[in-house]
C-alpha cells in the first residue's frame, strides 16, 4: 500500500460539469505534488462524474472517485471524503473553484513550520461566473494583518466570533486530519444551508494552535448556478433559516459541552449561542419582508414543536426576537412611505 499523502483535497461534486475541468486542471498545476484528490459524486445528473473519470490517468493514481447511493447533500459528501482520506492535512474545495499553482505548497509549509491544527487564510480571490474580473479580497478586521498571527488564545477567538471577525468558509481552512477526527468535526448533515459556517464555528473553537495568515490561496467563483444563490419562496426560506438556527445551535452547543473553557466561562457559551441565533435571524429578515409574523410563528412551531428537551427554551427566545425585528421593520416601512411621499 502506498504511503499516505501529505494532503487530501476533498471535493463534493454535484452537477458541476461547466467548471469542474478547470478545477481539476488547477490541481494538476500545483507545485506541490504529494497530495490525493477525493471526489465524492452526489448522484450528479450531468457529465460531472465522466469529467472526473477522464482525469484519472492524468493524476497517475492520486485521484479517487467515490459516489453516494442517493443524493444526500454537500455535508454527507464532505464527511464521506474525510473518513476515506489518508492525508496528514485536509483541504476542502468546491467543484467550481480554483487554486493558485503554489497554494497547497504554501499552506502545507505554513502548517508544518508553525506546527498548527489549522491554517486560517484571510485572503482570497474571486472571479465572475465566466472567469473574468478577478478581485482580491481580504477580511478588513483584526484577523487580517500583513503578517502571520500564531495564537493559542481561545478567549480571543471567541470574542472574534462574537464580532464576526472571521470568514467562515471551509476553503479558507487547511487543517490537520487527526485534529478533525479527534474532535468529531464532521459537517452537520441535517442542513445543507450554511452548514460550512456552522462547521467553521466548531473548528475555530476546537483549535488549540492556529495560524491566521494573509495568504490568498483560493479562487472563489461567483457562480449563479450554485446552491448558495438559489432562490426560494419566502416561507420556504423562513423554514430553511429556522432549521439552520436549530441544527447550528445543537451542533455548536455539543462542541462546547466537551470543552472545559465553557464550563468555567458560561457567559461565553450563552453569548455565542445568542449571537449565532441573531446572526441568522438577521439574514432571515433581510430576505423575507413580505412574510407575516403569524407565518413565522407557525414555522417556529413546526420546526421546534417536535423537539422536546433543553432546546424548548428557544421557542420563547425566538418569538421575542421576531417581535423585536418585526417592530423595527414596521417602523422602517412607515419611514420609507413618508420619504416616498415627500419625493413624489
What pLDDT tens digit does each residue of the chain (344 aa) get? 478 999 999 999 999 999 999 999 999 999 999 999 999 999 999 999 999 999 999 999 999 999 999 999 999 999 999 999 999 999 999 999 999 999 999 999 999 999 999 999 988 888 887 766 666 555 555 555 578 999 999 999 999 999 998 989 999 999 999 999 999 999 999 888 899 999 999 999 999 999 999 999 999 987 665 555 556 566 677 778 878 888 898 899 999 999 999 999 999 998 998 889 888 877 776 665 555 666 666 666 666 666 545 555 555 566 566 656 566 666 666 777 777 777 76
Backbone dihedral angles phi then psi of residue 296, each to the nearest 5 degrees: -70, -40
Structural domain including 159 reads: 7-229
Distances (CA, A) of 196 to 17, 203, 293: 22, 10, 29
Do 334 and 309 belong to one domain?
yes
Asked if the structure places residue 1 within a domain, the reply is no
Whole-number pLDDT of residue 283: 79
Q: Where are the alpha helices (DSSP H) in 95-233?
A: 103-114, 154-162, 177-182, 195-206
Do 239 and 163 belong to one domain?
no
Do 141 and 171 belong to one domain?
yes
Do 207 and 339 belong to one domain?
no
Do 217 and 288 belong to one domain?
no
Q: Is 70 exposed, middle or buried (0-12, 13-18, 19+ CB in 10 A)?
A: exposed
Give the distance, in angstroms, between the CA of residue 216 and the centroid of all CA atoms in the same chain. 17
Do 216 and 275 belong to one domain?
no
Asked if the structure places residue 67 within a domain, the reply is yes
Contact between 18 and 101 under an 8 Å Cβ cutoff? The reply is no
Domain boundary among 229, 244, 264: 229
Domain boundary among 182, 197, 229: 229
Domain count, the chain: 2
Radius of gyration of the chain (CA): 21
Question: CA nearest 272: which of 166, 182, 131?
Answer: 166
| Residue 172: CATH number of its domain | 3.90.550.10
Query: Residue 154 CB: number of other CB atoms within 10 A?
Result: 19
Do 166 and 40 belong to one domain?
yes
| Cα–Cα distance measured from residue 47 to residue 104, given in angstroms and rounded to the nearest whole number | 27
Q: Classify 12 in phi/psi space as left (phi over 0), alpha (psi -120 to 50) or beta.
A: beta
Q: How many residues does the chain have?
A: 344
Contact between 254 and 311 under an 8 Å Cβ cutoff? The reply is no
Do 78 and 17 belong to one domain?
yes
Whole-number pLDDT of residue 58: 97
Do 254 and 147 belong to one domain?
no
Whole-number pLDDT of residue 139: 52
Asked if the structure places residue 23 within a domain, the reply is yes
Do 202 and 102 belong to one domain?
yes
* Local structure of 207: helix, strand or coil: coil
Contact between 209 and 152 under an 8 Å Cβ cutoff? The reply is yes
pTM (predicted TM-score): 0.84
Do 58 and 179 belong to one domain?
yes
Amino acid at each position: 500500500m502506498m504511503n499516505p499523502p501529505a494532503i487530501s483535497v476533498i471535493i463534493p461534486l454535484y452537477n458541476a460539469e461547466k467548471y469542474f475541468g478547470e478545477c481539476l486542471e488547477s490541481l494538476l498545476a500545483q507545485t506541490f505534488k504529494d497530495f490525493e484528490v477525493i471526489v465524492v459524486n452526489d448522484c450528479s445528473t450531468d457529465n460531472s462524474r465522466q469529467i472526473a473519470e477522464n482525469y484519472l490517468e492524468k493524476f497517475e493514481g492520486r485521484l479517487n472517485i467515490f459516489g453516494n447511493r442517493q443524493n444526500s447533500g454537500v455535508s454527507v459528501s464532505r464527511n464521506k471524503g474525510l473518513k476515506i482520506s489518508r492525508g496528514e492535512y485536509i483541504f476542502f474545495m468546491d467543484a467550481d473553484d480554483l487554486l493558485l499553482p503554489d497554494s497547497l505548497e504554501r499552506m502545507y509549509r505554513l502548517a508544518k513550520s508553525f506546527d498548527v491544527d489549522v491554517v486560517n487564510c484571510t485572503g482570497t480571490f474571486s472571479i465572475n461566473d465566466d472567469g473574468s474580473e478577478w478581485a482580491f479580497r481580504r477580511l478588513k478586521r483584526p484577523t487580517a494583518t500583513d503578517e502571520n498571527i500564531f495564537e493559542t488564545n481561545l478567549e480571543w477567538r471567541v470574542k472574534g466570533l462574537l464580532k464576526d471577525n472571521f470568514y467562515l468558509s471551509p476553503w479558507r481552512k487547511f487543517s490537520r486530519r487527526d485534529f478533525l477526527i479527534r474532535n468529531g468535526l464532521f459537517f452537520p448533515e441535517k442542513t445543507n444551508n450554511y452548514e460550512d459556517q456552522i462547521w467553521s464555528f466548531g473548528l475555530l473553537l476546537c483549535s488549540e494552535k492556529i495560524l491566521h495568515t494573509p495568504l490568498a490561496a483560493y479562487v472563489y467563483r461567483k457562480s449563479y448556478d450554485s446552491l448558495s444563490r438559489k432562490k426560494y419562496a419566502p416561507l420556504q426560506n423562513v423554514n430553511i433559516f429556522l432549521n439552520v438556527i436549530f441544527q447550528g445551535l445543537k451542533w455548536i452547543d455539543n462542541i462546547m459541552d466537551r470543552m472545559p473553557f465553557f464550563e468555567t466561562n458560561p457567559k461565553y457559551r450563552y453569548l455565542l449561542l445568542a449571537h449565532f441565533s441573531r446572526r441568522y435571524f438577521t439574514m432571515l429578515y433581510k430576505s423575507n419582508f413580505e412574510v407575516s409574523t403569524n407565518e413565522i410563528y407557525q414555522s417556529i412551531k413546526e420546526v421546534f414543536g417536535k423537539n422536546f428537551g433543553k432546546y424548548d427554551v428557544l421557542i420563547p427566545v425566538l418569538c421575542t426576537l421576531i417581535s423585536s425585528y418585526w417592530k423595527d421593520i414596521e417602523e422602517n416601512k412607515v419611514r420609507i412611505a413618508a420619504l416616498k411621499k415627500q419625493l413624489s
